[in-house]
Amino acid sequence: MRFDFTPEEKNFKSQLSSFLDDVLPDDWHGPADESRDDHWDLNQDIKKGLAERGWLVMSWPKEYGGSDSSPMMNTIFAEEMAYRRAPGHDRFGTRMFGPTLMRFGTEEQRTKYLGSIARGEIQWCQGYSEPNSGSDLASLQARAVEDGDDFIVTGAKIWTSLAHRADMMFMLVRTDPEARPHKGISLIIVDMKSPGVEVQPIVNMAGVHSFNQVIFDQVRVPKSNLVGDLNDGWRAGMTVLNFERSGIDYAAWARAALEELVDYVNNDDAEVTAAKSDPTVRIKLAELHMEVEAVRLMCYDVSYRQGKGEIPSAEASMSKVAASEVYLKVLDYGVEILGMYGVLEPGSNQAELQGRFFKMRLFYTSGPILAGTNEIQKNIIAQRGLGLPRK
């Protein structure tokens, strides 16, 4: 039992923190809106800076340009990036698709793509969900038909984050419609500039264009872009999701938001003075502080177990559920503390905290929905973690 970081971990965290001090604008509050060109430029600058310092793919094995960093180090990295609301942490390439290629990709694919991911040159996006396949992903219908040396891909992907900024997509397609759902799926790489690919923006309830629908109309994809075996894409595709499911981002965002609220109620210039004099506010903020620390420890525990070689599937689901919910509790309370100001939109005159809390509350409604809804995660916890029977 030891609840402290090693000197090496502390040192890394402080180096990363000073890098972010340098590279983030002085008045940076985040979060980044990647449909804004200035924020996207910042994303690219930070990504390159991280790559130059060897941090972007530090989780990778040495042979692919990484430094084989421990799961705990990777968590510290993700936590600090999220705590600062810094853009530039390329999860799709570095945390999801890169490791999948290392395990399932051909030599040629690894040579072709891993280097560019490590240098922060190529933006990837993830083509999994479809209009009719959300939680029940294995029912996906986007079709890839063999035609000589190519596949012809037709169908639609949806909720695709950063498709409007991406160069490449890794995508699940149905290659054998006769087989059972999980058996007829393949994982392929698609160049987003291919003829027949159309990216249609979807604006979310916070007014932000962060995800898209992507239409594939007879898109020609070379067979050399198949990752893993034909019709064995489910296995490769699920590897990605294990990297996706962690609560550390939410835990760090929640901590940052909570600290902003504590500063706000302590700030003599704050317009909402009632928050300062109301004793229930300090009690509620203390409760949220406990909740934030609890989910933070859950995320560290997942990394600790991964570091020992375990695959803590139920624990990862627990951390995702708890952290995404706690983050919303903090944001809800922020909006509540701000009272009448709480519902002023960003950019409004007389907004407090730049209208950030209301917008974040709307935006992160997605937390309990994306990357496997919290309801699906709870099924995983009950069935894989507690051993309850499947119905």
Partner 1 sequence: MDFGLTETQELIKASAREFLEEKSDPAIVRAVAEGDSDAIDALWKDIVELGWPSLTISEEHGGAGLSFSDLAVLLEELGASLAPTPLVESSISSWILERFGSDSLKSELLPKIANGEVLITPAIVERDASWDPESTKVAATRSGSNLVITGEKRFVAFAAQATHALTLVRTDNGEPALVVVPIWKADGVEQTPLSHASGVPVSSLSFNELEVAESNIIATGELATQAVDELVAAGGVARSAQLAGLGRAVVDAAVEYTANREQFGVPVGSFQAVQHHLANMAIAAKQVNHLVHAAAWSFSRDGYSVDTAAQAKIAASDKIAELCWTAHQCHGAIGFTWEHDLHLYTRRAMAWKTDYGDSAFHKSKLANAMGL
Q: Which residues bind partner 1 (CB under 8 A)?
A: 1-5, 72, 262, 265-266, 281-283, 285-287, 289-290, 293-295, 297-298, 300-301, 303-305, 308, 314-315, 318, 321-322, 375, 377-379, 381-383, 385-391
Does 244 participate in catalysis according to the annotation?
yes
Kind and range of the H or E run holding 191? strand 185-191
Residues 299/348, Cβ–Cβ less than 8 Å = no
Residues 185/234, Cβ–Cβ less than 8 Å = yes
To the nearest whole angstrom, how small is the minimum distance from the Cβ of residue 241 to partner 1? 18
Nearer to partner 1, 112 or 282 (CB): 282
Residues 357/334, Cβ–Cβ less than 8 Å = yes
Q: Indicate which residue of 121, 244, 271, 325 is catalytic.
A: 244
Tokens (6 digits) for 318: 């627990």
Nearer to partner 1, 96 or 321 (CB): 321
Tokens (6 digits) for 11: 């040192």
The set of residues, in sequence order, having a beta carbon less than 8 Å from that of 311 and lying 6+ positions away, is 242
To the nearest whole angstrom, how small is the minimum distance from the Cβ of residue 63 to partner 1? 28
- CA–CA gap between residue 391 and residue 124 (Å, rounded): 37
Nearer to partner 1, 33 or 315 (CB): 315
To the nearest whole angstrom, how small is the minimum distance from the Cβ of residue 376 to partner 1? 10
β-pair partners for 219: 153
- Neighbour tally for 19: CB within 10 Å: 18
Peptide bond between residue 312 and the one before it cis (omega within 30 degrees of 0): no
To the nearest whole angstrom, how small is the minimum distance from the Cβ of residue 68 to partner 1? 18
To the nearest whole angstrom, how small is the minimum distance from the Cβ of residue 256 to partner 1? 15
- CA–CA gap between residue 296 and residue 78 (Å, rounded): 12
Nearer to partner 1, 262 or 371 (CB): 262
To the nearest whole angstrom, how small is the minimum distance from the Cβ of residue 1 to partner 1? 5
Nearer to partner 1, 217 or 263 (CB): 263
**Nearest residue to 131 via CA among 164, 154, 156:** 156
Nearer to partner 1, 73 or 163 (CB): 73
Residues 173/185, Cβ–Cβ less than 8 Å = yes
Tokens (6 digits) for 93: 């390439």
The residues that are catalytic are: 244
